[in-house]
């Protein structure tokens, strides 16, 4: 089976812009979770989608949003980008409880 | 709230030797999962091993094994016969069995170096 894919892999944006990241889960996986990884804060949970519904949400401002489509593909959007949003954004998919498989990540740089 | 602590920011091991990475966690739940993930310089997170809290037997995957002490809330990873390709950041992670199962809580990580 193909693994989790994320596009784009690298992105450079300017403060105030918005960005959309995409994640395609492993075939058959219905749960998609998003994480932000920074050197200072480590890995932090953003949100999880299951069957097109947001099932869990982390402690991030409303500028961070996401959605999931009927084919389980997911997107996350960050509006009004800030310098502190520079990070590696990881997507993970899961078929059942607990075990998550990660994509290669999208490296976002905000200038 | 659940927390995961990795007290060793960096560790080093000689090739072919054995190394143990430490992890402690805090939870009030009785059913949960614990994981070790590896993140090499490529940044791809790779699942190394998984342990369900209700299982008393420690999980093993080839050269990787865990020492799960539920009462002590301790979950260490042992890597035997270390190889150069084992060099990476290792993250310990906790996952709820119930409602928050999509949310893994990670430790800060341990950077493992392998010396030839």
pLDDT at B103: 87
Q: Do A102 and B42 touch (CB under 8 A)?
A: no
How far is A47 from B11, CA to CA, in rounded Å?
A: 32
Q: Do A48 and B91 touch (CB under 8 A)?
A: no
Q: Do B33 and A56 touch (CB under 8 A)?
A: no
The per-residue pLDDT for range B61-113, each reduced to its tens digit, is 999 999 999 999 999 999 999 999 999 999 999 998 766 667 899 999 999 99
The span from the first CA to the last CA of chain B, in angstroms, equals 41
Which carries the bigger pLDDT value, residue B30 or residue A77? A77
Cβ A64 vs Cβ A48: under 8 Å: no
Cβ A46 vs Cβ A37: under 8 Å: no
How far is A74 from A6, CA to CA, in rounded Å?
A: 10
- Closest CA–CA distance from residue A65 to any residue of chain B (Å): 16
Residue A38 CA neighbour count, 13 Å, CB half: 13
The per-residue pLDDT for range A33-47, each reduced to its tens digit, is 999 999 999 999 999
Best of A10, A100, A101, A104 to disrupt the B interface (most B CBs within 10 Å) is A100
| Tokens coding A19 | 């960005």
Contacts of A33 in chain B (CB under 8 A): 102-104
The per-residue pLDDT for range A54-63, each reduced to its tens digit, is 988 999 999 9
Specify the pairing of strand B60-61 against strand B104-106: unpaired
How far is B100 from A89, CA to CA, in rounded Å?
A: 20
How far is B20 from B3, CA to CA, in rounded Å?
A: 20
Which residues, numbered 21 to 60 in chain A, qualify as contacts with chain B under a Cβ-Cβ cut-off of 8 Å? Answer: 31, 33, 35, 42-43, 45, 48, 50, 55-56, 58
A26 Cβ contact list (under 8 Å, min separation 6): A1, A2, A3, A4, A93, A95, A101
What percent of chain B shows pLDDT beyond 70? 97
């Amino acid at each position: 089976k193909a693994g989790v894919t994320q596009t784009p892999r690298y992105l450079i944006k300017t403060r105030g812009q918005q960005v959309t990241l995409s994640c395609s889960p492993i075939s058959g996986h219905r749960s998609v979770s998003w994480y932000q990884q920074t050197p200072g804060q480590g890995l932090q949970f953003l949100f999880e989608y299951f069957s097109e519904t947001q099932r869990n949400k982390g402690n991030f401002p409303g500028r961070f949003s996401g959605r999931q489509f009927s084919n389980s593909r997911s997107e996350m959007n960050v509006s009004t980008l800030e310098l502190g949003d520079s990070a590696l954004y990881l997507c993970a998919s899961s078929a059942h409880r607990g075990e998550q498989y990660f994509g290669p990540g999208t490296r976002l740089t905000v200038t | 709230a659940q927390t995961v602590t990795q007290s060793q920011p960096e560790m080093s091991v000689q090739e072919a030797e054995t190394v143990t990475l430490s992890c402690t966690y805090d939870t009030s739940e009785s059913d949960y999962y614990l994981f070790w993930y590896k993140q090499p310089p490529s940044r791809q997170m790779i699942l190394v091993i998984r342990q369900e809290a209700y299982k008393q037997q420690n999980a093993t995957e080839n050269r990787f094994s865990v020492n799960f002490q539920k009462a002590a809330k301790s979950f260490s990873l042992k890597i035997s016969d270390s190889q150069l390709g084992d060099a990476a950041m290792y993250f310990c992670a906790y996952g709820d069995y119930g409602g928050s199962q999509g949310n893994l809580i990670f430790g800060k990580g341990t950077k493992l170096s392998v010396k030839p």
